[in-house]
Structures are given as C-alpha cells and as structure tokens.
Structure 1
C-alpha cells in the first residue's frame, strides 16, 4: 500500500485513525497500541503477506536479545556474546536476502566459476528495520535501555510503525517507544491533525507533482546511456538529482506528518541538502537519521578521530563505503559510497589548510560532486554510469540544441555542435519546458524554505487552508499515475 494511493488516503488511514482514537477515548490505551501494531502489520503485509513472518521473526528475536542484554553487565563475556549474536542475527538475515546473489555472482565473475546464483526476493524495508534493530541491540549492550521498560507490543510497534517502516526515518528506540507511554499522546488533537495533514500534503506534493513528473526524463536518458549526448546527459543527471530528493524527502515528510496525526513525533530526515556548501555540510542535511546511524554505530566504533588523522580518514572512507553497500547489492552503490568517502576525506583534509572557498564556489563544487555521484547511484551498472559521466563532461563531444546557436555563435568556433531537437531523441518532448522546470527546481532547492520551515509558519487561516487544499486537490487528481517511492528498493 502506497501513501500516494486512494486505498491508503481514503481507506486505511481514516479507519486506522478512527479505531485508534476510538479505543483511546475509552482509556483502552493498551488496546489502541495493539490496534496500531496490527494495522502496521496489515499495511506491511498488503504488499506481500509472505514478507510478514520474516519481519516478525526479526522483531521478536531482537526484542529478546535486548531483554537478555539488559540483564548482562556491559563488557562481560556474556554481554559480548549476546551483542555478537544480536548483530550477527540481523546481519545474517540482511546478508542472505540482500547480498547472497550479489556475492555469488561477483565470485563467479572474479574466478570464472559457474556456481548457481540464488534467486532470492528482497523483502520490503529489510535494510531499514535491520538497521533500526541493530541500533537497539547495541544500545542495550551499552546499558542505554535499562531506564526504559519495553514490553513486546510497544517494541514491536516501534519497529513496525507504518509511517516509517518502509523507508525511514531510521528511528532510535528512545525516540519513539517512550512516546507510547505518554497518555496525552492518545488524546485526539485537532491542532496536531491539522499540522500533520499539512506536512503530509506537502510531502505528497513533492512526490506526485514533482518527482513523478520528471521521472520519465530520467528513465529515457539512463536507458540509453551509451548514446546520449551532452545536453541529454545533463538533463538526465539533473532530473535524477531532483527526482531522488523530492521523492525521498517527500516520503519522509509524509511519514512525519502521519506521526503528527497520531500524536507521535518522528525525527527530521532532510534539511535542504542542496543548499550545502561542502560535502560535510551535505551529510548533515541529507538522510540525517542514516548519517547519525553511520556515525554512532560504525564510524565511532571504528575509532572515529581518536587514533590520528590517517586512521580517521580510513574510518571515514570505510564508513561511507559500507553506507553505499547498505543501499544495494551492486558495484554502483559501492562506487557511490567510495566517492562520498573520498569527498569527505578531501573535505576534512582541506579544512586543515584553513582556506575557505567563496560560498558560491563551495556550493557549486558540492552540488556537482553530489550530482555526479547520483549518476552511479541510479545507473544499472558501471558501464552505463561512466558513459553518462563521459557525456556530461564533454568527452563524447558537446552537442547543444540549435535554438541557442544564434545567441552564442562563438561556441561553434570552439567545436560545439548544434543540432535540432528532433535529432536529440532522449530530450523530453517539450524540451524548452523541461529546461525551465529544471532551472526553477534548482532555484527552489537552493533558495526556498524547506518543509519544516514552512510548517513553523503554520497558521489556521482561510488562505493557508486554501493553499494546502489546492495542493491536495492537484495531488488527488494525479493519483492515477501511482508509482512506488525510489527508496523502497533499498
């Protein structure tokens, strides 16, 4: 079931909401919690019922690992064994379902063997709920769960809570479970529903009105990576840069909005990442909960910056390399992680010189570096990615639409080719409109306020209601083109 579907908006959500607050009205808090848990499992099973048993095994297994760790003193052999068992339990499930086929096929390619590649279907959201629970097991080992009394229904709801289950934000146990113990959160709030709906509608608008509309521009270019020209490659690369942001941040906004409707607060996951003036700044703004996870559960345990600069750079690179592999079982994701690891190492090393670039140049370098890395993130294989990168930097020649030839005649003298748009088949049909759209989106992501900044200005006024209602109506009229969120594949 998709957030951007009639079934969810007019069926699942209102029924879940009515029963949840109906039970809460009669002080049946425990029943309301269990109802929300069952509704979340139904939401997950709606995709494919066979996914549910694995999710339940993961949830119950991790819950009891956490309970056993609560009774073990940190640092003791028993606690270490439980920690190892809990992490191995999660990584074993994740490794088998997500990486077994990739591992075998890579070995076959490397050693020219013919081992059968297992045909394993990737369960939905396995990366997200695995990381969520690894964090819980590690925190239990550190003694950070002892102050909380977690029962199985509350813990299960924390993992499976439907707004964040499929694509995050990646939650910490102490960010959500304590909220299930606050009685006020089970009291219907008109204000929270209004804020939540506004947040949800803004996120839905990002997905339906922006990301989905530019999606065909991306597919056309990447499906013909070998033969696209300079202009076509730039349109494809920029389109994907914006599609991924508006798609994923739109999902996160909808998840946060749904949390508000049920009186629960989910963490912010995006903070205008394309305004970043360095790669360090970018990773403080993009997929923030993943950045925190990688920092707290990988980078710091590896030694962080405590063992000298060389070790720090190695830790940064390895953290991002594994972060890339987390996104998918493919060499393009590994390269993407390696690129960002390298970017971060260079960025930290540059800071040692104490030389600051002008803000615009810092932004431009960061944006171009991120856009180039997204090409590898999106491409089906390394060959396609390198072909598009070669086209964007002009190695295959520079081809522009001939509409600009009269205005820029000096470009022809530099070897730039001009062709009519009919000879550039992988441009959008209305290419002039697409150029304007991409330009406006670039201005929007760099100059306009983000969703949380807009929500801070929320006022229950008629003009506010009219504006949000207009976005909602436009979205509802566009739901005939339902598409999954990009991060569902991870």
Structure 2
C-alpha cells in the first residue's frame, strides 16, 4: 500500500486514526496500541502476506535476545560479559544472514558463477519490503542493549517500534530511545488537534513533492536512461537533461516520502527524527551526508565507521574506514555492483574533502566568513559531484553509465536544433524538460524546506531554530489551510489521473 494511493489516503489512514483515538477516548489505551500494531501488520501484509510471518519471527527473536543481553549487562562479572558478547554476535549474525539471503544470495551466486564457471541457481527470491530498514533498526537495538542503553520494554511497545507503519518501509531508521518512550507515554492515545494539523500539513507537502514534482520530472529522466541502456545515441544536451531530471526526481521522491512518514507519525503524536535537510544546499560532500538520509548516515557512523576505528587510529586508517563504510553503504542500497561503485565514489569524495580540509588547516587558510562566491563555488562543485555519482546509482549497467557520461562530456551542441528540442531521439520534449529543471532548481536551492517552514512546532526530534522570513512560516490560520487544501487537491487530482508510482527507496 502506497502513501500516495487512494486506498491509503481515503481508507486505511482514516480508519486507523479513528480506531486508535476512538479506543483511546474510551480509556482503552492498551487496545489502541494493539490496534496500531494490528493495522501496521495489515499495511505490511498488503504487499505480501507471507512475509508477515518473517517480520514477526524477526521481532520475537530480537526482543528475546535484546532482553537477555540487557539483563546480562546488569551483572558485572566475567561470565555475564562472555554471554553478552556471544549473544550479541548471534543476534547480529542471524539478522545479517536473513538480510544476506533475501537481498544478496542471488547476487553472490551470480558472481560466483562468473568467477568459477559454475551454473548454480537459487531460483527467484522475492525481496521483503523494508527488510533493510527493520533489520538495521533491530541491530541497533541489540548493540544498544549490549552497551546497557536499553531497559526492559514490553513486547507490545517493541512491536510498535519495529512495525510502526509510517517509517516501516523506507525509514527514518530510528533508535529505540527516540520512539519507545513516546509509545510508552500514557497520553499517546489522547486526540490532539495541534498534532493533527501539523501532521496533515507535513503529509500534504510530502504528497505534493512526490505526486507532482518527483513524478512530473521523472517523465524526462526515465526515457533518457532507458535510451542509453538500449544503445541509443543521445546528445550531450539530452544527457545533461536526463541526469539533472533524475537528480531532482530522487530528491523530491525521497524528501516527499520522508515528509509523509514524519507527518503520519505526528498525527499519532509520535515525533520522528529528521531524515532530509536540503542536501543539495550542501557546501561539501561531508555536509551532504549530514543532510541526505540522515538516519542511515548516523547508523553507518555509529555502528560501522566508529567500531572500525573511526578517526582514532591515524589518517590512513581513517580514510580506509571511510571507504569501507561507503562501499558497504552503497551495497546496502541493493545487490548490484553499480551501487558499490556509487558508494566507492562517495568514499573517494569524502577522502578528498577531508584531505582538502586538512591542507587548508595546515596552511592556515581556514576562515569562518566565506564570500557568497566561495560558497557558490563549493556548492556547485558538490552538486556536480553528487550528480555524477547518481548516474551510476540509476544506470542499469556500467556501460550505460559510461555512455551517459561520454555524452555529457562531448558537448555536441551543434545537434541542438528546434526539431530536436520538440522531439529528441529519447522521445521527450526538451523544452518542457528545461522548464521542469528550472522550476526544480529554484525549489531545491532557494525555497525553505519543510522543517524550516514548521520549525516553531518541532516537526522532527532534531529540528533546529531555523529562522526564515515570516511569510514562509506555517501558521494555523485560514490562509495556510486554504493553501494546503489546494496543494492536497492538486495532488489527489493527479492520483486520480494515473496509477500511483512507487517510491524509489522502496527497492532498497
């Protein structure tokens, strides 16, 4: 069930809200939590009911192991430490094995066959939706239990921590201490008009981003990448248009999903962590990874980069740890060498970024006050680097990615004729494409983001006091209600015209 589908917006969400707050209104708090867990299972089972058993078994296993580890931590003797380490190893191994089988087994077998000349086969393995997200979330819970950071939560609240439908399929990846205390709050089932208004506002903005902006610009990205994959020769202008279109599509698609997830959770009185903070406004690759998929970056840093040694064992080891982290982060996105290349590129970018910062520090060239031209230069270089990496993220093969890069670098503008603009070899209208790209760039680089618009009302756990012009600040008044109602109406009208598309991050 998609957030941008009529069955979700008109049936599932209203019924879930009414049931949850209706039970809470009559004092049945526990029943309301059960209802939310039950409807979350319905939401997950809508895709493939068979995998409900998988996620239930995963939750039971991790809850039992996590509680055992947490109890062992209380005993300060060698045997308990021995048990703690071994059960943590077992817990992480089972989770990783589960993820490896469903997501990477055929990938490994395929590459083994290429190397060894064998013909092994595992058949078709259907990837359970959200397995990367709920697996990482529970691994984080086990590690925190090992560190003594958890308490013994009841199983119902733990189920909600894992299965809570707004962030189940594509994040944000939450820590237990961020949401479990909120689920345990006695007032969670009390109807709150402020939460409803804030949640619907964030949801509506996210829906518009997905249905109008992401899906709109995608009509110019997909044909160009498909044409390149099929061997069609595309011009330099087409290549730039296609890559820029995908760059903006992915931005609006993931930003839209993050807003919708945060908005839905807020309706139920749950505040999720920030996951998206205008990443294309980043002035460096380091800054980009502080803004893009923030909760995944945090997970990779806390549970992979730092355990590897982080920056504590010298610069060479630090750069090696960065590269390993980004390679595995790329592989996390999917069983493809293209994702590994994408991760490797970002690892290289980060190393160069850190080296540049170190050189500037050594030469005492650092300055707090940067000119607008210096900032613009950094931002353009960062954006172009990100855009090049997205080519490998999106392309179906290395040859298709290289073909697009060659077309971009050929600068063969002599083929740019009026006829080509209205009907290019990739069968897109390049004039309309340029208009979409101009509109997208204005929104991405100059418009305030959702967290900034609602910062006074703490839309996320990490929202900062981010002052913007008063005209852009959300207020619970008639003008904003009419504006958001119009945005919502436009998005629903678009959904009625065509079948809703999946979010890009659902495939990960």
- Structure 2 gaps of 5+ residues are 456-472
Per-residue deviation, 1:184: 2.2
Correspondent of 2:147 among 142, 147, 165? 142
Judging changes above 3 Å, is the alpha-carbon distance between structure 1 residues 117 and 105 closer, same or farther for their aligned structure 2 residues? farther
> Are residue 265 (structure 1) and residue 280 (structure 2) matched?
no
Deviations 1:327-385 (A, max 9, x none): 00000000000000010011001101115681111111100010111111111111111
Q: Paired residue for 1:470? A: 486
Per-residue deviation, 1:199: 0.2
Correspondent of 1:185 among 188, 196, 199? 188
Do the aligned residues in 1 keep the contact of 2:237 with 2:408 (CA within 8 Å)? yes
Q: Paired residue for 2:44? A: 44
Correspondent of 1:373 among 373, 378, 389? 389
> Are residue 441 (structure 1) and residue 445 (structure 2) matched?
no
Q: Paired residue for 2:349? A: 343
Do the aligned residues in 1 keep the contact of 2:167 with 2:173 (CA within 8 Å)? yes
Partners of 1:58 and 1:202 in 2: how far apart?
34
Q: TM-score, normalised by structure 2?
A: 0.90
Per-residue deviation, 1:422: 5.7
Instruction: Say how many residue pairs are matched.
Output: 471
Do the aligned residues in 2 keep the contact of 1:100 with 1:118 (CA within 8 Å)? no
Partners of 2:156 and 2:267 in 1: how far apart?
21
Q: Paired residue for 1:158? A: 161
The alignment partner of 1:119 has SS state of coil
Deviations 1:225-276 (A, max 9, x none): 1322211111110011010110111011001001110000011100000000
Q: Paired residue for 1:26? A: 26
Do the aligned residues in 1 keep the contact of 2:422 with 2:431 (CA within 8 Å)? no
Partners of 1:41 and 1:272 in 2: how far apart?
32
Do the aligned residues in 1 keep the contact of 2:202 with 2:260 (CA within 8 Å)? yes
Partners of 1:17 and 1:251 in 2: how far apart?
19
Most deviating of 344-353 and 72-81:
72-81
Q: Paired residue for 1:85? A: 90
Judging changes above 3 Å, is the alpha-carbon distance between structure 1 residues 423 and 245 closer, same or farther for their aligned structure 2 residues? closer
Partners of 1:400 and 1:369 in 2: how far apart?
26
Do the aligned residues in 2 keep the contact of 1:128 with 1:170 (CA within 8 Å)? yes
Q: Paired residue for 2:224? A: 221
Q: Paired residue for 2:311? A: 305
Do the aligned residues in 1 keep the contact of 2:217 with 2:436 (CA within 8 Å)? no
Do the aligned residues in 2 keep the contact of 1:199 with 1:256 (CA within 8 Å)? yes
Partners of 2:244 and 2:296 in 1: how far apart?
24
Deviations 1:211-232 (A, max 9, x none): 1112121110111113222111
Per-residue deviation, 1:458: 2.0
Do the aligned residues in 1 keep the contact of 2:130 with 2:169 (CA within 8 Å)? yes
Do the aligned residues in 1 keep the contact of 2:277 with 2:449 (CA within 8 Å)? yes
Do the aligned residues in 2 keep the contact of 1:201 with 1:472 (CA within 8 Å)? yes
> Are residue 111 (structure 1) and residue 116 (structure 2) matched?
yes
Deviations 1:106-164 (A, max 9, x none): 1111222222243211111110111101100111111110xx33111110111000000
Q: TM-score, normalised by structure 1?
A: 0.94
Partners of 1:11 and 1:117 in 2: how far apart?
39
Partners of 1:399 and 1:213 in 2: how far apart?
28
Partners of 1:25 and 1:422 in 2: how far apart?
59
Q: Paired residue for 1:413? A: none
Do the aligned residues in 2 keep the contact of 1:235 with 1:427 (CA within 8 Å)? no
Query: What is the correspondence of 1:161-310 to structure 2 with a 5 Å cutoff?
Result: 161-225=164-228, 226=231, 227-310=233-316
Partners of 1:284 and 1:135 in 2: how far apart?
19
- Structure 1 gaps of 5+ residues are 404-418
Q: CA RMSD in A?
A: 1.5
> Are residue 324 (structure 1) and residue 341 (structure 2) matched?
no
The alignment partner of 1:307 has SS state of coil
Q: Paired residue for 1:486? A: 504
Per-residue deviation, 1:461: 1.3
Query: What is the correspondence of 1:386-405 to structure 2 with a 5 Å cutoff?
Result: 386-394=402-410, 397-398=412-413, 400-403=415-418
Judging changes above 3 Å, is the alpha-carbon distance between structure 1 residues 393 and 427 closer, same or farther for their aligned structure 2 residues? farther
The alignment partner of 1:436 has SS state of helix
Partners of 1:108 and 1:208 in 2: how far apart?
41
Q: Paired residue for 1:314? A: 320
Judging changes above 3 Å, is the alpha-carbon distance between structure 1 residues 191 and 387 closer, same or farther for their aligned structure 2 residues? same
Partners of 1:422 and 1:280 in 2: how far apart?
40
Q: Paired residue for 2:469? A: none
Partners of 1:253 and 1:87 in 2: how far apart?
30
Do the aligned residues in 2 keep the contact of 1:283 with 1:291 (CA within 8 Å)? yes
Deviations 1:417-469 (A, max 9, x none): xx74367221523x212202201211211111001111232212111111100
Do the aligned residues in 1 keep the contact of 2:300 with 2:329 (CA within 8 Å)? yes
Deviations 1:288-313 (A, max 9, x none): 00010000000000000000000000
Do the aligned residues in 1 keep the contact of 2:67 with 2:152 (CA within 8 Å)? no
